[in-house]
Chain A
Amino acid sequence: MASNFTSRFFLLRLRAKVALLTLLAVLLPNQFASAVAPQPAQKVLFLYSWQSVLPANLEWDSGIRKALESTEGRGIEFHTEYLDLAHHPEGTYLQSLLNLLKTKYSGQKIDLLIPVGDLAFSFLQAHGNALFPGSPIVFCAVVKQQLEALKPPPNSSGVVAWVDVQGTLAAALKLQPKTRRVAVVGGIAKTDRALEHIAREALRPYEGQLEVTFLTDLSMAEVLQRMSSLPPRTVVIYLNMLRDSTGHDFVPLEALERVAQAANAPVYGLWETLLGHGIVGGHLMSFTEQGRLAGELGRRVLNGAKPENIPVIYEGGDVYAFDWRQLQRRGLKESALPPGSLVRFKEPSLWESHKREVIGTGAAFSVLSLLVVGLLINLGRRRRAEGSLAKRLKFETLVAELSGQFVAVEAGKVDQEIDQGIKRLVEFLGVDRGRLWQLSGPQGEFIPTHSWAAPGIRAISLPPAQRFPWIRSQMLQGIPVTFSRPDELPREAEIDRQSLLADGINSALCIPLSVGGKFIGALTLSALRSLKAWDPGLAQELRPIGEIFANALIRSVADNELQQGELKYRIVADFTYDWEYWQNPDGIWRYVSPACERISGHRPAEFLKRPGLLRDLIVPEDQDRWDRHNCVSQKDPSGRELQFRIRRPDGSIRWIEHACQPVTDDAGKFIGVRASNRDITERRQAEISEQQHREQLAHMTRVATLGELTASLAHEVNQPLNAVMNNAQAALRFLHRENPDMQEVGEALGDIVRDGKRAAEVIQRLRQFLRPGEMHAQAVDINQVIEETAALTRNEFQASNIRIRFSLADNLPPVWADGIQIQQVVLNLLMNAKEAMEQAGSNPRELLVRTEQEDGETVKVSFRDRGPGMTSENLEKIFEPFYTTKTAGMGLGLAISRSIIASLGGRVWAAPNPDQGATLAFALPIFKEEHR
C-alpha cells in the first residue's frame, strides 16, 4: 500500500518535470537549439610570445584569421593571449600567468592552439599539456633552430620562421658590391639572443671576406653613437631589439627607427614589418604571409586533419622587398635589386604625381581619344590579367602536383621523379633543357645530378665551376640569375658569357636552392633554340619547385646514406679483425662476425646453430670464471672484460680477451649482450716471455741483495744454531752427571727442537726468496711479509744503529700479489732506506714502516727514512735501472721493485719528507674474489 502510493507520487513528479522542461524549451529556443546542435563553435587560442603592442602581432593575426575564417560551416571563437615572455621569462610572473590561463581556460575545450614565436611555443611545450590537455598545436614563426632544439610535441605542426640573414646580406651586397663591413644590431632579450645566434651562424661563411661586428651588448645610446660613425663600405643588419644592455625595453620598430635615423650606412632587415621604418629592405619574412600559411594549416586541423600528418612548412612567406625612399636616401640603384623584388613606398612618377595637372592642361585632347586610349589600356590589361591568371593557375597546379608526387615517392624512385618533374617544368615553361645541380665536394663544386632536355638537345655538359664563375658566385650568394640573352649579363660575367655562347645557350634561368636554410644546389632552365623572355618574379616563383626537387634530392641522399650506413656497419662488423658477436638474452646468437673462424676454428653458422658452442670451446679450467663473468656482465652497463682460453678443433689453445656490454633498447630493456673476442695468444706469449725476463732479472737482483745481506743472514741462522748447540751440550752434561738431571735434559731438548725449527724457517725463507720460480699471485698478508723481511735484515739495521718503527694497520685486507716478490720489494725499500741514512750519517737514525688501507681498492706501504732526502731530479730517476747514488750496488733494486709492483697492478712512488729524508711507498690492489 505504502509502496504503491510512493510510486504514484513519483510518477506525478516526473510528469511535472517533463512539463517544465518543455516550457523551458519553448521559452529559450536558441539555447535549446544550440544544445542539440552537433557542432558548437570551434575555439582557437592565439598565444603570442610578446606584448600586445608589437605591430607584427597584428600582421600574423590578420593572416591567420583570414585563412581560418574561410573555414566552412562552423563558427570560430577566437581568443588571444599576449604572454610577454621576452620581457618576463620566469619567476612569479610565469606563475601568475599560469594561474591566469588556468582560471580562464580550465574546463574549456580549445580546438586549436596557435603559438606565435619561439617563446610561446616553448611555453606550450612545458605547460601545454597541463593547461590545454589534448589540444592540437599549429605554431607560427618558430625559428627553425629553436624548433629542432625543442623537439615538437606529436600533436603539432606549423610554420617555421625563416630568418634569412644570408638572403638579406646577399641582397645588400648586390646593392653595395664594395661592402667590406657588416654591423649587426641586436638586443639582449631572449628573442634578441635567439636571433643573434642565428645571425652568427649565418654570417660565419662570410668570415674572411667581410668584417662582421655584432653590436648586441650595447646600450641604445652606444648603438646610436656607433651607428653615426660607421666606417665607409659598411652595411647594417638590424636583427631585433626588444631590450638593450641597460635593460631598457623597446618596441623593435621604434628601436629600428632610431637606429636607422642615426646610421650613416644603409640598414637592412629581416621582417616585412620593418619596411617603412628605416630599413632599405632585404630578404624579408612576411608576417601576414606566414600567418596565412599557419592559418591554412590550422584550417586543416579544424577540419579534422591530425597535426602530426601535416608536414611542417620550413620556408615560406618570405619576399625580397625594399623601401624605395630608403633606396633613394642611400643612393642605391633599383636596377641592382634581386629579380622579383618588391619595391614599396615608391613615389609616384611625374605622370602619377601630377595626373590632375596633366589632365587639366591636356584638355585639348579629345575626351574620345582619351576614352579610346583608356579602353585600349583597360582591354590590354584585362587580357593580360586573364592570360596571367590562367598561367598562374596552371603554374599553381604544377607546383601542387609536383609537391604531391614527391611526398609519396619511394626512396628508390626519387631520381626518376625528379627527372620527370624537370621534364614537366621544361615543357611548362617552353624551354629546352632543365638541370638540377648539387653543390658538393670540398671546393663546393656544382655537380649535375638530374637533367631533362628536349629531343635533339644535349643533356649533360661539363660542371660549371670554371666555365660559369660569375653565375656560380651568384648562386652561392643565393641570388637568382635570369637573362634572355648572354649579353644581358654584367661585364664581370665575361667567362660565363663565352661559355654560354660555346654551349649555344640563349636564355637561362638559374635558381639557387636551399633546404632548411642550407644552400645545397641550383636549378637551371635554359633555352637553346629560341630567346626566352622571362617574367620578372618567375625565378622567385620557381623557387618552391626547385626546393621540392632539392628536398627530394636530400631525401634520396639521406636514404641512400642510411642504406650505405647499414652496409657500412655490416662491412665494419664483417671485416673486423676481432670476433664480434651479439647474443640475445636467451643465448641465441644474433650476429657472429666471420673472424670467429680465424680465431676459434668454427664458422659463424656453427655458432648460430649452437648457442652453447662458445662455452664448450672454453678450456675446463676457465669455464667457472666464464660462468661467473656471464652472471655479472649482463647487469653491468659499463661492460666487463675477461681473459680465457679456448681449445680449437685442431687441439691448439688460444688466449681470448673478451669484452662485453649489455645492450638495452630505448626503453632500457635488456635485449642481449654485445661482445668482442680478441685473440691475444701472441700477446700473452710475449707477456709470458717478458714476465720470464723480469723474473730472471728479479731473481738476479734477489741473489745480489742477499749477497749484501750475508752478515745478517748468517746471524739469523747462527743464532738458533748456537742455541741448539749450547742446549745439546748442556743436555749431554746433565745426562752424564752421576745423578743425571732429566728435567734439565728434557727442557734442553724442547728448546733444541724449537730453535731447530727456527733455523729451518730462516733457511726455508731464503730458499724461497732465492728460488728462480715463476710468479704466483695470491692473497698476501702484507704485514706478515713486512715482519718477516724486517727479521731478515734486523741485524743489518742493528749494525748500522738504525731503529725500525712499525706502524702496521690492524685488520688490513690481503693484497693480490706474489709473496716472494713483495718481500723482495720490501727488502729493497728497507735496504734503500738503510743505505740512505748510513750515507747521510743521519741522527737519529730511524725508519718508519707504515701500512694502511688507502681506499676500497688499495693498500699502501710506506718507508719514511731520515736520510739525505732527494732532489726532484732524483725523485724521477731513482726507479730507473742502473741509477744509483750509492757507491755499492747495481742500481737495480728500485727498478726491479717498480716493475714487480707494476706487474701486479700497483704503483711505486717517492716523495721528499717535509722535515728530513724521503718516503718511498708502494700501493697494491686489495685481493678480491674475482682475482681467483
Chain B
Amino acid sequence: MSPAKPAVYVVDDDPSVRGAMKRLLKSVGLPVKTFASAREFLDQATPEWSGCLMVDLRMPGMGGLDLQYQLNARQISLPVIFLTGYGTVPASVRAMKAGAVDFLEKPVDDQTLLDAVHKALERDRGAKRDQAEMQALHQRLAALTPREYEVLAFIISGRLNKQAAAALGTTEKTIKVHRARIMEKLRCASLAELVRLAEKAGIKTLD
C-alpha cells in the first residue's frame, strides 16, 4: 500500500466481523485493508501509513489497547477507533487518553461508524498536514546561520535593534542586516508572522 494513499485499517480476529466491516467501508468508497491480528498489522505498518485504524478491544494475543501502545512507541500516528462488544469504562478511559478517536460499542450503527471513520480520517489528514508544515518550517529554520539564530531570539523577545547590538557586541546596522536576512529566509512578511512561526517551532524567547 502506498503511504500517500490514506486507508482504513481493520484489525479483528473474527473473520465475519472483518468481512462485514470491509464491505461496509467499501460501500462508501473507502479503501480498506484488514488484518486478522494486531501482530499481523504491526508487522506491516510503517510511520508513513495514513488513514485510520479500527481495532477490536479484545482479541486473542495482543488486544486493541496493547496495539495502540505499540503504535505510539513506533511513532506510527494513526487515529484509532476502538470497537468492543461490551465496553468497560476503565478500558475506554485508557484508550482515549492514549489518543483514541472513538470508542464504539458493537453492534454499531453504520452512520455512527462511518462518521467516526470520517472524523478519524479528517484528523489524520490534519495531523499529516501539520506534520508537513512543521517539516517545512524546520527546513527554513535550518537555513539560518548561528548568528542569525541568536538575533532571532532578540527579535521575537521584542528587543530593540540597539539592545540586541549592545548585547551581542555589534552595531545596530549589522543587526538590521541580520533581521532582513532572517525575514527573507523564513519567508515572513511581518514581525507578527515571525513571532508566530518561532512560537510554532518552539523557539524560546529570552527572559
Contact = CB atoms under 8 A, between A and B. Distances in A.
Nearest to A744: B23
Contacts of B20: 722-727, 730, 748, 751, 755
B122 interface: no
B58 interface: yes
B180 interface: no
B106 interface: yes
A727 B24 contact: yes
Nearest to A802: B60
Interface string A753-764: 011001000000
Interface in A706-748: 710-711, 714-715, 718-727, 729-731, 733-734, 744, 747-748
Contacts of A722: 17, 20, 83, 85, 106-108
A807 interface: no
28 contacts: A715-B58, A719-B14, A719-B16, A719-B17, A719-B85, A720-B16, A722-B85, A722-B106, A722-B108, A723-B14, A723-B16, A724-B20, A725-B20, A725-B108, A726-B21, A727-B20, A729-B24, A730-B27, A744-B23, A744-B26, A748-B20, A751-B23, A754-B16, A758-B16, A795-B58, A798-B59, A799-B58, A803-B60
Contacts of A718: 85-86, 106-107
A798 B60 contact: yes
Nearest to A795: B58
Contacts of B86: 710-711, 714-715, 718
Contact of B106 (A721, A731, A758): A721
**Complex A-B, nearest 3 residue pairs according to Cβ-Cβ distance, in ascending order:** A726-B20, A729-B110, A733-B27
B19 interface: yes
Contacts of B107: 718, 721-722, 724-726
Q: From DSSP, what is the main secondary structure of chain A's interface residues?
A: helix
Interface residues of B, number: 24
Residue among A714, A720, A723, A794 facing the most chain B CB atoms (10 A cut-off): A723
Interface residues of A, number: 31
B58 A733 contact: no
B28 interface: yes
B85 A730 contact: no
B85 A715 contact: yes
A120 B23 CA distance: 104
B63 interface: yes
Contacts of A710: 86
Contacts, number: 89
B178 to A, nearest CB: 60
Contacts of A715: 58, 85-86
A730 B23 contact: yes
A748 B16 contact: no
Residue among B24, B63, B113 facing the most chain A CB atoms (10 A cut-off): B24
Residue among A721, A722, A729 facing the most chain B CB atoms (10 A cut-off): A722
Contact of B23 (A720, A726, A798, A803): A726
A272 to B, nearest CB: 99
Residue among B16, B86, B109 facing the most chain A CB atoms (10 A cut-off): B16
A802 to B, nearest CB: 10
Given A754-B16, A799-B58, A714 B85 contact: yes
Interface of B: 14, 16-17, 19-21, 23-24, 26-28, 58-60, 63, 83, 85-86, 106-110, 113
A727 B21 CA distance: 7
A427 B64 CA distance: 121
Contacts of A730: 20, 23-24, 26-27, 110
Residue among B14, B85, B109 facing the most chain A CB atoms (10 A cut-off): B85
Contacts of B23: 726-727, 730-731, 744, 747-748, 751
A725 B58 contact: no
Contacts of B113: 726
Given A731-B23, A795-B58, A798-B58, 8 more contacts: A719-B106, A722-B85, A722-B107, A722-B108, A724-B107, A726-B107, A730-B20, A730-B110
Contacts of A755: 16, 20
A718 B19 CA distance: 15
A726 B34 CA distance: 15
A795 B106 CA distance: 14
Contacts of B24: 726-727, 729-730, 733
Residue among A726, A730, A744 facing the most chain B CB atoms (10 A cut-off): A726
B63 A798 contact: yes
A125 B16 CA distance: 88
A718 B57 CA distance: 14
Given A718-B86, A726-B23, A798-B58, A733 B28 contact: yes
A740 B59 CA distance: 35
B183 to A, nearest CB: 53
Nearest to B28: A733
Nearest to B12: A719
Interface in A780-799: 794-795, 798-799
A731 B110 CA distance: 11
A795 B85 contact: yes
A725 B110 contact: yes
A259 to B, nearest CB: 92
B74 to A, nearest CB: 22
Contacts of A719: 14, 16-17, 85, 106
Interface in A275-290: none
Contacts of A733: 24, 27-28
A733 to B, nearest CB: 4
Contacts of B28: 733
B27 A744 contact: yes
Contacts of A803: 60
A754 B20 CA distance: 12
Residue among A720, A724, A729, A799 facing the most chain B CB atoms (10 A cut-off): A729
A760 to B, nearest CB: 14
A744 B22 CA distance: 11
A175 B25 CA distance: 123
A794 B28 CA distance: 33
A799 B64 CA distance: 11
Nearest to B16: A723
A710 to B, nearest CB: 8
A723 B19 contact: yes
Interface string A819-835: 00000000000000000
Nearest to A714: B86
A727 B20 CA distance: 5
B19 to A, nearest CB: 6
Residue among A719, A720, A803 facing the most chain B CB atoms (10 A cut-off): A719
Contacts of B21: 726
A713 to B, nearest CB: 9
Residue among B20, B85, B108 facing the most chain A CB atoms (10 A cut-off): B20
A737 to B, nearest CB: 8
A662 B21 CA distance: 71
Interface string A530-545: 0000000000000000
A68 B71 CA distance: 121
A726 to B, nearest CB: 4
A727 B86 CA distance: 21
Contacts of A744: 23, 26-27
Contacts of A795: 58, 85
Contacts of A721: 106-107
